[in-house]
Chain A
Amino acid sequence: MEEDWLYEAITETYVPLISVFEGLVNDRIDFRLTMTLSPTLISMLGDPLLQERYLKHINKSIELAGREMERTSWQPEFRDLARMYFNKFSHSRDTFLKYNRNLTSAFKKFQDLGKLEIITCGATHGFFPLMDVCRASVRAQVKVAVNHYESVFGRKPGGIWLPECGYHPGHDEILKEAGIRFFFTDSHGVLHGSPRPKYGIFAPVYCKGTGVACFGRDLESSKQVWSSIEGYPGDYNYREFYRDIGFDLEYDYIRPYIHPDGVRINTGIKYYRITGPGNNKEPYIEHWAHDKAAAHAGNFMFNRQKQASYLNGLMGKPPIIVSPYDAELFGHWWYEGPMWLDFLFRKIACDQDEIRLITPSEYLRENPRNQVITPSLSSWGYKGYSEMWLQGSNDWIYRHLHMASQRMSELVKIFPHAESLRKRGLNQALRELLLAQSSDWGFILGTGTHTSYAVRRTKEHLLRFTRLYEELKSNSIDEGWLADIEYKDNIFSEIDYRVHQ
């Protein structure tokens, strides 16, 4: 399952974003963007087996697009679109190969150029507020991520995107220990903090006791992009996500390009524009969408100018507006998203001088004096707190997750300096624990679709952890089995179990 998501994300989001950055740099357009690359994503992008498989996958996609160009040759409007995908897929392969199959190196390049600030995330995207009763696990999530980041980028991350934007007061202590200087919360994380933040979310605050900076998310700019009612991506001229030829075309023809077990899946080739609210869809027209993306970029910039000048009057100092979006919104859900970003950056650089782009690190360097408060518990999930991950369908997992955390801390205490086989066992135990903690499992159980997969993954990792715990304690590690699960769950090869304390 993760594998297909990765391929889609590479072709539809990461390569298009890299192309936007390349274009801007080539045209000497200055820009700033802060981007999270989670440790799991970086690991997947760097995995030789997945790289090999992506190459096969993209070659298949190119082949399908080629066949589509032939099949649609009597319908020029579709043939042009098939060609668009053919070019896009070919470009994706070229980019992938240009960066030696590891796209992380592309992002690193733009970070080194000072355009991109790459921040980290929890090691396996555990939801921190529901790990508060075992902070050792929060520490492990943070430290494993920071160490991994350092090994990839050759420096420590300046900031972190807390998984699901989930902040629990006190976790800033752990961030500080790990050398992290800033994080983000949803708007109410700052607005409902105490004492009351003078500038609302339009200036960062420092956490009381630690001085780690916290930036609150601006909802006005977020809404403009992702709101399903008024957001840009729902424009009728934009590409319709839900009409993929993987579902639309005759089965025998499409069979070689869908899932090997014969289940229809997205191929990435989609010929229609949103058209309107009904089911009737008209063919996508590239230049209409192009014009719309330019107009929307202009509109976004205009609104930020107005917002900034109003806030400037109110605050008596320039505001910072923090607009975070899911990376996969750009290109995957919103096909024109990367193009929109490109227009936006060009317009901001060339067409005006009222606002400018900035990264959190840069802002803090320029504005070191900020108010000290304790931000509020918050997340950007459903209803703003922990309910998405703590409800009738998924609350049973915490009993087991917390127990495993407690046992992991116990193991670290018993074996402070393990070597060889025991050390391998301890490191693997931490890997299994981290994998079990991924908030995705709780989320999937909460949404009620694909739940058996989430149940299986949760149990699998917890059971492996438990067996390791018992074998470690009774000094009876089954090396063959350990080697087997080291191979299956091979993330974070450099992990050090001692971070869990």
Chain B
Amino acid sequence: MNILNKVIGKIKKLIPAGFTLERKKKPQAAKAPGARPEIPSFQETVVADAKFSHPEPARPARFIQEELPYQYDQDKIVLQVRDPRWVHTYWELRNQTLGQLKSRLGDEFNRARKVLRVYDVTNIIFNGSNANSFFDIQINDFANSWYIDTGHPGCSLCVDLGLMLPDGRFITIVRSNVVQTPLEGPSWITDEEWMIPEDMFARLYGMGFGLGRSSPVGGAWQERIKQGLFSSGLSSSPVRKEVKERSFWMKVDCELIVYGATEPSAAVTVQGRAVNLRPDGTFTLRFWLPDGKQYIPVKATSSDKLEERTITPIVNRETR
């Protein structure tokens, strides 16, 4: 079996860390109503408070690093599973390591190509030479991470970062951890004690994905992927979003402000309802004004209840 050998690793993305960090922010779509604006965090406010209320004694200024390092001065390659068919790897090499290789290999070094060698090590204890199969991916000098299409799910993988010399020899520089990709459908391994007929399992399997009662084994999963039946996580809503008919829009509404003043000790009602006066005897009310005619009797009664004034604005709103 040498399936993996025939598969060429496909490049999906190649993003050196430094790049991503400094990349300009994509222009964002206009904020939908309900979108959360970006605002300072709670901690920031706390810090601000602390800064102003407890001035710290001046400390000698010292250099504080503001950026994460590009790398950490080690020889390292790490492999992680993204999904049943893709794994991700990132790596770094010390200049010293490359220098040693260069002095060892001389001119061959300059003509060598950097390569990721992807080994299928399913069901074996990998010793460097007993892989079930492998394939190579040629990478460029600037890459420090890669997405690898493994060709088929449910296998154990290990990756070497190395040099391919002009004569075809491969030299490993660093070796990754071993990962195992998940299956993309149900396992073929069954348990004697817990056997179930195939057709019954197919029914349970389909139901497990909420896709009815008979579904070919494995088919329900494909169906689920197609329908995108995944929880939306942190910030999306299960509530139907508004269908935007056209992007252009306008809305207009009307409010009415009724305000006035009287003796601070007087009692005031507007449309029969008591109103609180400010200490200086003024008051302001604000109403959402519907179409039609509004009578707004404003009545003030002196504190000794001997005098009374009523003023009634009449407002008509008409919308065309």
**Residues of A that sit less than 8 Å from B by CB:** 1-4, 49-50, 67, 70-75, 78, 129-130, 132-133, 164-165, 169, 187-188, 190-202, 216, 218-223, 225-228, 231, 233-234, 238, 241-244, 247-248, 250, 253, 259, 261, 263-266, 274, 277-279, 307, 310-311, 314-315, 326, 329, 333-334, 371-373, 376-378, 380-388, 390-393, 395-396, 398-400, 402-403, 440, 443-444, 447-453, 455, 457, 459, 462-463, 466-467, 478, 480, 484, 487-489
For chain B residues 7-24, which have a beta carbon within 8 Å of chain A?
Answer: 12-13, 15, 17, 20-21
24 contacts between A and B (CB under 8 A): A1-B36, A1-B39, A49-B46, A74-B287, A74-B288, A133-B177, A188-B224, A191-B209, A193-B187, A202-B204, A218-B210, A242-B241, A261-B40, A277-B243, A310-B213, A333-B238, A371-B191, A373-B191, A380-B230, A399-B92, A453-B38, A455-B21, A480-B59, A487-B50
- The smallest C-beta distance from A353 to any residue of chain B, in angstroms, reads 23
Chain B 188-199 per-residue mask, 1 if CB under 8 angstroms from chain A, else 0: 111101111000
**Complex Cα spacing A62 to B18, Å:** 48
**Complex Cα spacing A133 to B90, Å:** 12
Chain A residues with CB under 8 Å of B193's CB are: 371
Chain B residues with CB under 8 Å of A314's CB are: 200, 203-204
**Complex Cα spacing A108 to B86, Å:** 43
Chain A residues with CB under 8 Å of B244's CB are: 279
Q: Which of chain B's residues has its CB closest to A241's CB?
A: B239
Say yes or no: A198-B194 contact (C-beta < 8 A), given A129-B81, A399-B17. Answer: yes
Number of interface residues of B (CB under 8 A): 105
Chain B residues with CB under 8 Å of A234's CB are: 238-240
- The smallest C-beta distance from A76 to any residue of chain B, in angstroms, reads 10
- Is B185 close to A, CB under 8 A? yes
Determine, out of B61-69, B123-131, B133-141, the stretch whose residues face the partner at the interface.
B61-69
Specify which of B20, B35, B189 is in contact with A196 (CB 8 Å cutoff): B189
Contact B33 A247 (CB under 8 A): yes
- The smallest C-beta distance from A124 to any residue of chain B, in angstroms, reads 14
Contact A265 B36 (CB under 8 A): yes
Contact B234 A378 (CB under 8 A): no
**Complex Cα spacing A194 to B189, Å:** 6
**Complex Cα spacing A201 to B196, Å:** 14
For chain B residues 237-251, which have a beta carbon within 8 Å of chain A?
Answer: 237-245, 249
**Complex Cα spacing A455 to B22, Å:** 11
Contact B56 A480 (CB under 8 A): yes
Contact B81 A279 (CB under 8 A): no
Chain B residues with CB under 8 Å of A386's CB are: 80-83
Specify which of B37, B88, B145, B180 is in contact with A259 (CB 8 Å cutoff): B37
Contact B238 A225 (CB under 8 A): yes
**Complex Cα spacing A451 to B26, Å:** 10
**Complex Cα spacing A284 to B237, Å:** 19
Contact B190 A196 (CB under 8 A): yes
- Is B52 close to A, CB under 8 A? no
Chain A residues with CB under 8 Å of B231's CB are: 165, 222, 226, 326, 380-381
Chain A residues with CB under 8 Å of B20's CB are: 392-393, 396
- The smallest C-beta distance from A453 to any residue of chain B, in angstroms, reads 6
- The smallest C-beta distance from A289 to any residue of chain B, in angstroms, reads 13
- The smallest C-beta distance from B14 to any residue of chain A, in angstroms, reads 9
Chain A residues with CB under 8 Å of B66's CB are: 463
For chain B residues 212-229, which have a beta carbon within 8 Å of chain A?
Answer: 213, 221, 224-225, 229
Specify which of B36, B42, B186, B243 is in contact with A191 (CB 8 Å cutoff): B186
- Is B55 close to A, CB under 8 A? no
